[in-house]
Amino acid sequence: MSQGFEIQIFNRYENKMDIEKVYGDGMVKFAYGNPIGRLLGPLIASKMFSRRYGKAQDSAKSAQKVAPFIKNFNIDIEQYEKGSLQDNPIETSYQSFNEFFIRKFKDGQRTFTSNEHEMGAFAEARYFGHESMSDELTIPVKGSMLRAVDLIGDAKLAQDFIGGPLMIARLCPVDYHRYHYPDDGKTLKSYTIAGDLHSVNPLALKYRQDIFIKNERRVSILDTENFGKLAYIEVGATCVGKIVQSYDESKPFKKGDEKGYFLFGGSTVVLYGEKGKWIPSADMLENTKAGIETYIHLGDVVAQQTI
């Protein structure tokens, strides 16, 4: 890969293309593009490495990284709630980098679409969307690597989603790292599939096209009121210390309820639907065909009912 590789994102709100500024891009290029880095790949992708790195983000010393990070990535920090140190300015209110990483939006900063026929964005992220999944479908990975059976890890459960719509929401380290329910409903089943913790950055995906079925992931089968069954899959990534399920899955959920969050690291949420029940938003579909992700705010429209 050339050093000039750039990640282009379509910004729905500014109606223009943005170039993504990658946190840790030097490490990603080393780990996946350098021969020595590739030899170290199993260590970098190991749970031990990610857990230790993630744990370091819980230290008081790690809080020193917060203010420079906010400045470097031009984060509008006033949109978010303060950390534990309430008497401090918001930039120094977080006890650790992880506390900053899982910061919450202030009330009113994000709202979920109230129309029943519109699905709310379940994460603040960069989205790919496809109307119908097939073995020939290519997303950030190639060919059959994103068949439902590969990600869901259960051939019987996967049958409900063959030929159905698909969305991939990629969260960067700079993003809000909590993810939410896109509609009212209940959880039918949930389980964790063990795996590695490779980076899900497009730079890494250039080199490793099997990442989504190699990485650790958590699967929830949801029964929703307006969009049928959904397979909601959280994919772990390098330096994600933990995938945390914060909602009590024994209880019904409402559109917009927080489902969980990722501790330190960028990661991805994948959503599968039943055939003919819904379709991703038009701009997302158009951009996906051009190989470009669409940046979408939490709660904004990402799909519509088709029945």
pLDDT single digits (tens) 107-148: 999 999 999 999 999 999 999 999 987 766 555 532 234 555
Whether residue 232 sits in one domain with residue 89: no
pTM of the model: 0.82
CA distance 197 to 238: 5
* 272 membership: H or E segment, kind and range: strand 267-273
pLDDT in tens, the chain (307 residues): 334 457 889 999 999 999 887 654 444 444 445 555 445 545 444 455 555 555 677 788 989 999 999 998 899 999 999 999 999 999 999 999 989 989 999 999 999 999 999 999 999 999 999 998 776 655 553 223 455 567 787 888 888 998 999 999 988 888 899 999 999 999 999 998 875 434 344 444 444 444 443 457 889 999 999 999 999 998 875 444 578 899 999 999 999 999 999 887 667 899 999 999 999 999 999 999 998 999 999 999 999 999 6
Is 134 part of any domain? yes
Is 113 part of any domain? no
Is 112 part of any domain? no
Is 7 part of any domain? no
- Using left for φ > 0, alpha for ψ between -120 and 50, and beta otherwise, residue 118 falls in beta
Whether residue 301 sits in one domain with residue 210: yes
Whether residue 158 sits in one domain with residue 91: no
- State how far the alpha carbon of 232 is from the alpha carbons of 21, 22, 170, 219, in Å: 27, 26, 14, 6
Whether residue 235 sits in one domain with residue 288: yes
Q: Give residues with Cβ within 8 angstroms of 138, minimum separation 6.
A: none
Domain end: 101, 126, 153, which one? 101
Whether residue 214 sits in one domain with residue 243: yes
- pLDDT at position 162: 86
- pLDDT at position 307: 67
Is 8 part of any domain? no
Q: Give residues with Cβ within 8 angstroms of 34, minimum separation 6.
A: none
Whether residue 234 sits in one domain with residue 127: yes
Domain end: 69, 101, 133, which one? 101
- pLDDT at position 226: 98
Is 1 part of any domain? no
Residue ranges making up the domain that contains 31? 18-101
Whether residue 239 sits in one domain with residue 147: yes
Whether residue 259 sits in one domain with residue 172: yes
Read off the amino acid at residue 298.
Answer: L
Whether residue 157 sits in one domain with residue 200: yes
Is 241 part of any domain? yes
Domain end: 56, 72, 101, which one? 101
Helix (H, G, I), strand (E, B) or coil at 131: coil
Whether residue 289 sits in one domain with residue 142: yes
Whether residue 42 sits in one domain with residue 160: no
- pLDDT at position 198: 40
Under 8 Å between Cβ of 218 and 245:
yes
- Using left for φ > 0, alpha for ψ between -120 and 50, and beta otherwise, residue 276 falls in left
Whether residue 161 sits in one domain with residue 44: no
- pLDDT at position 11: 95
Count of structural domains, the chain: 2
Helix (H, G, I), strand (E, B) or coil at 147: coil
Under 8 Å between Cβ of 284 and 300:
no
Is 169 part of any domain? yes
